[in-house]
Amino acid sequence: MAVWRVLSRYPRLLWRLQGVAGQALLAHKARSFFVVAAVAMGIAALTVIVASVDGARRKALEIVDFFGPDAVLVLGGDIENRPVGQRTNTLTWSDARAIARSLPGAYAVLPMRSVRAVTLRYGNKNHEAPTVVGATENYAATWNWPLSEGRDLSEDDIAHGAKVALIGDAPAKALFGDASPVGRTVMVKNLPVQIVGRLSYRGFTGGGSDVSVDDRLIMPISTLTQRFNLDRNYFRGLRVRFHDPDLIGVHMENLRALLRHEHKLGPTVPDDFTIMSASEILKFLTAFTGGLVAFLGVTAGVAILVGGFVLANLMFLGVSERRVEIGLRKAVGATSGAILIQFLSEAVYLTLAGAILGVGLGVGLGESLSRLGMLELRLSPKIFVLSLAAALAIALAFGLRPARKAADLDPIEALRGGGE
């Protein structure tokens, strides 16, 4: 029973110390405000950084999922090394026929090229499409991109240079609102084009830019090259799909060997094309995200350290100003442990308040940046947990020395105004 009474005193003592710590903070509102504001700035930076990194990872997975594990994209030119004077128009119709005829495992070959910034017009409505793509038949199927209505491009469309098109979700909404675009005629520059299919909404950007993949129009490549006066012998890109995605590495090597043979490249001559798979895109995006984490992590760390130094300096100042109070409390029986707990509690309350305010500021700043298209953010409970953990770490790392200084003050020296 006596042991229980001794143990039961500690919770009551801790509760009383929390009340004393709260009163001390309220008695020094200006100092408390500066500490909370400094910590909040660091936590806000941490919030934006964690959300942006999570958003970048989600974006990378979306792009890889859209690309598909069973496909590769071949681009003309060596885009990785970018040699001076290199040609980018290196892929020909002969290459496409050779792949379709001779490459083991390949079942879909889709030549593509594009033109940029083309004005679409329907009635009195205009929309500038960032990309108009020219492709062969089965564009939607080869990209595993479902149609929300209508049909895909056909062999007859390509053979006859038909003035038809698939429309992305963004231009469809801009020109037709909630109405169906299928069967309507859109002016592509000065060319009347009938919409035969509508691509379903994807909802993300790609290609290393902030342009939505939904903001595009797809026409037969024969129509595009003829109407926009493009070179008919070459195209910019080539998508190839294979039956067995587990053998994608072998398929890529076979494709590379075939294209080098078709382009008559010697053993010492570098590739004049680039082959990309989903795994390579993910590898690049992961490396980019890792660099982003390192850079932004340093930024957040500096911001949090600044908040910690502000906390430590203002707490040291508070200990100096409250020497008499500490001396009186010790003179009437307060232990050094109680003083230590009180000052640490003050530090914890200030940093927790800064964490809550910082998360709010970070979310607000992140939403503003998202609306401006500068960042892709993903908010999750992890942000709140990390912010609270960072706040407690700041309190313990930077509040412990001032708290120990307060606890170690000699009561007699403190009441005399000394003890420094």
348-383: per-residue pLDDT in tens?
888 888 888 888 888 887 777 666 555 566 667 777
For residues 222 and 325, the model is more confident at 222
Mean pLDDT (the chain, rounded): 82
pLDDT digits (tens, 9 = 90+) for 12-28: 555 565 655 556 566 66
In this structure, the answer to whether residues 48 and 95 fall within a common structural domain is no
- Domain residue limits at 379: 1-62+283-416
Span of 76-80, 157-161, 227-231, 373-377 with lowest mean pLDDT? 373-377
Q: What is the pLDDT confidence band of residue 67, given thresholds at 50, 70 and 90?
A: confident
In-domain check, residue 225: yes
Exposure string of 237-268, with b = 16+ CB inside 10 Å and e = fewer, is: bbbbbbeeeeebeebbebbeebbbebbeeeee
pLDDT recorded at residue 83: 61
Rounded average pLDDT over 256-281: 88
Last residue of a domain, one of 211, 239, 271: 271
pLDDT recorded at residue 3: 30
In this structure, the answer to whether residues 137 and 261 fall within a common structural domain is yes
In this structure, the answer to whether residues 253 and 292 fall within a common structural domain is no
In this structure, the answer to whether residues 180 and 265 fall within a common structural domain is yes
CA separation for the pair 253, 233 (Å, rounded): 25
In-domain check, residue 73: no
In this structure, the answer to whether residues 255 and 327 fall within a common structural domain is no
In this structure, the answer to whether residues 287 and 264 fall within a common structural domain is no
* β-strands 71-76, 237-242 pairing: antiparallel
In-domain check, residue 45: yes
In this structure, the answer to whether residues 33 and 176 fall within a common structural domain is no
In-domain check, residue 366: yes
In this structure, the answer to whether residues 321 and 412 fall within a common structural domain is yes
In-domain check, residue 205: yes
Q: Which residues pair with 198 in a beta bridge?
A: 149, 167
pLDDT digits (tens, 9 = 90+) for 380-409: 777 788 888 888 888 888 888 888 887 777
For residue 110, give the H/E element and its range: strand 106-122
In-domain check, residue 74: no
In-domain check, residue 81: no
In-domain check, residue 258: yes
In this structure, the answer to whether residues 347 and 227 fall within a common structural domain is no
289 vs 109, 118, 130, 169, CA distance in Å? 31, 32, 26, 29
- Residue pair 149/182 in contact (Cβ under 8 Å)? The answer is yes
In this structure, the answer to whether residues 267 and 289 fall within a common structural domain is no
**Percentage, residues of the chain above pLDDT 70:** 83
For residues 417 and 130, the model is more confident at 130
* Model confidence, pTM: 0.64
pLDDT recorded at residue 205: 67
Last residue of a domain, one of 271, 302, 323: 271
Give the number of domains in the chain: 2
Last residue of a domain, one of 221, 239, 271: 271
pLDDT recorded at residue 2: 33
- pLDDT of residue 8 exceeding 50: no
- pLDDT of residue 118 exceeding 90: yes
Span of 163-167, 289-293, 415-419 with lowest mean pLDDT? 415-419
In this structure, the answer to whether residues 249 and 316 fall within a common structural domain is no
The listed range with the strongest mean pLDDT (63-67, 260-264, 315-319, 365-369) is 260-264
Rounded average pLDDT over 264-288: 81
The listed range with the strongest mean pLDDT (140-144, 208-212, 286-290, 414-418) is 140-144
Span of 91-105, 144-158, 282-296 with lowest mean pLDDT? 282-296
pLDDT recorded at residue 4: 40
pLDDT recorded at residue 20: 57
In this structure, the answer to whether residues 191 and 305 fall within a common structural domain is no
CA separation for the pair 349, 59 (Å, rounded): 37
